[in-house]
Amino acid sequence: MDGVNVLTQDVVIPGDSYRYQFGVPDAGTYWYHSHYLSYDQVSRGLFGAFIVEEQNAPAVDHDIVVQFFDVLLDQSGQYDEAFNPAHFATEGRIGNTVTALVFNGTGKTVKRGDRLRLRLINPSIDRVYRVGLDGLIGKIVALDGIPLAHPRTLEPILLAPGQRCDVIGDATGPIRFDDSFGEQTLSLGEIAVSGSREPAKAPITALPANRMPAPKDPGQTAELVLQGGAGSASHNGTGTWALNDVSGLPRRPFLSAAQGTTARISIRNETGFPHVMHLHGHHFWELDAAGEAGPYRDSTYLDTGETRDILVVLDNPGSWMLHCHMLSHQADGMATWIRVG
Ligand SMILES: [Cu+2]
């Protein structure tokens, strides 16, 4: 279940209820949020972390969820009810108040020398972060919930809306988060440290691998062109943004394939703004320019003018939305869907 109203379920109206029921075979850092008027409802806080623990979790002293969230407040400090339509067609509704929402499941104070697992999540509707971490020596061990076969050096992490990143490391002082995506570096918040201990000696290794499908030669290829935005020509459909000349969810799927098909989709960003394309119900490999498979993710970031191919094994039957996870862009037309089986 990866519910989307119109496509797979009805909205849950006030006073009504709906039971989501699904297995959780893949350990990792996930999240959940409203998918109805999501630019509005998520911006008001209708989201949360969804953690699936490993059967053999790595030994850490603290397992901490950190959600980077921005909100637009008016002059009196209240949620700004005015939705400026110009923002839908540009970089989105960017908040003027940015914070790190920190939840430490152990409830204990972090000591210098403690080993931490940080689960970084970007539930912001439109804001992209480049997250720097101070006060921690460690490695990046997972992206979008999926373990990296080879943990990466810890350096500032690009975190677009919807994306996640797991970091394991040892505290050397207060853990300070900052964002260097924009022109000015912003302080996002910190995790306080009190006391100290000898750091763990064990090396930081890869998380236990999740089950992964085996890609075949692509049985289908497709091109997805990102178009529209302020100042561009208009497209078919209802909104400002478009995918392959159609703005808004089309009646026919962008791609229809038999279950188990491997598909290669080339995504080209022809707009003047960055986007982060998210596929429901699946993860996919980001391919590099040489066609080599990179990380296995569910959301891929494309800068202005950038092209990226992704490879996906369509092993999950159903109708699945493919959309920009900048939720103002999605609301203004940047959404399509695929059908599997
Ligand atoms: Cu977008």
Asked, for residue 78, whether it belongs to a domain, the answer is yes
Verify that 123 and 246 share a domain, yes or no. no
CA of 332 to the centre of ligand 1 (A): 9
pLDDT class of 89 with cuts at 50, 70, 90? very high
pLDDT at residue 111, rounded to an integer: 97
- Quick check: 270 pLDDT over 80? yes
Residue 298 lies in a domain: yes
Q: Which of 40-44, 167-171, 217-221, 234-238 has the lowest mean pLDDT?
A: 234-238
> Rg of the chain over CA atoms, in angstroms?
20
Rounded distance from Cα 296 to ligand 1 centre (Å): 20
- Structural domain for 132, as ranges: 56-196
Kindly give the distance from the C-alpha atom of residue 71 to the centroid of ligand 1, in angstroms, as a whole number.
18
Whether residue 97 is found in the same domain as residue 191: yes
Nearest alpha carbon to residue 307 among 223, 182, 220:
223
> In terms of domains, do 157 and 111 share one?
yes
Look at the block and give the residue holding tokens 């290829």.
221
Same domain, 168 and 246: no
- Final residue belonging to a domain, choices 196, 231, 261: 196
Residue 207 in any domain: the answer is no
Average of per-residue pLDDT values in the chain: 95
330 with 324: CB under 8 angstroms? yes
Structure tokens at 115: 């080993």
131 and 236 housed in the same domain: no
Question: What is the domain count for the chain?
Answer: 2
Whether residue 55 is predicted with pLDDT greater than 80 in this model: the reply is yes
- Token digits for 73? 């407040």
Residue 19 CA, ligand 1 centroid: distance in Å: 30
Ligand 1 midpoint to CA 80 (Å): 22
165 in any annotated domain: yes
Residues in a beta bridge with 102: 66
Looking at residues 217-234, what average pLDDT do you find?
Answer: 94
Mean pLDDT along residues 281-309: 97
pLDDT for 3 beyond 80: no
The whole-number average pLDDT for the span 228-239 is 90
| Mean pLDDT in residue range 26-36 | 96
Residue 224 lies in a domain: yes
Q: Show the tokens assigned to 130.
A: 């480049």
On whether residue 187 sits in a domain, the answer given is: yes
- Provide the percentage of residues in the chain whose pLDDT is more than 90: 92
Tell me, yes or no, whether 236 and 270 share the same domain: yes
Calpha distance 98→18 (Å, rounded):
32
**Does some domain include residue 22?**
no
pLDDT of residue 5: 87
Q: Could you tell me if 181 and 293 lie in one domain?
A: no
Give residue 284 CA to ligand 1 midpoint distance, Å.
19
Could you list the beta-strand ranges (E) of 144-271. Answer: 146-153, 157-159, 164-179, 186-191, 193-196, 220-228, 236-237, 241-243, 246-247, 255-257, 261-269
Token representation of residue 56: 């053999």
- Establish if 12 belongs to a structural domain: no
d(CA 165, CA 150): 14
Does 200 score more than 90 pLDDT? no
What is the mean pLDDT of the segment spanning 17-42? 95
CB 136 within 8 A of CB 172: yes
Closest CA to 111 of 198, 187, 178, 176: 198
- Are 273 and 182 in the same domain? no
CA of 137 to the centre of ligand 1 (A): 33
- Residues 191 and 225 placed together within one structural domain of the fold: no
What is the pLDDT, as a whole number, of residue 238? Answer: 85
Compute, in angstroms, the gap from residue 104 CA to the centroid of ligand 1: 32
Report the CATH number that the domain containing residue 164 is assigned in CATH. 2.60.40.420
Check whether 229 has a pLDDT greater than 90: yes
> What digits encode the pLDDT tens for the residues 94-145?
999 999 999 998 889 999 999 999 999 999 999 999 999 999 999 999 999 9
Asked if 309 and 187 sit in the same domain, the reply is no
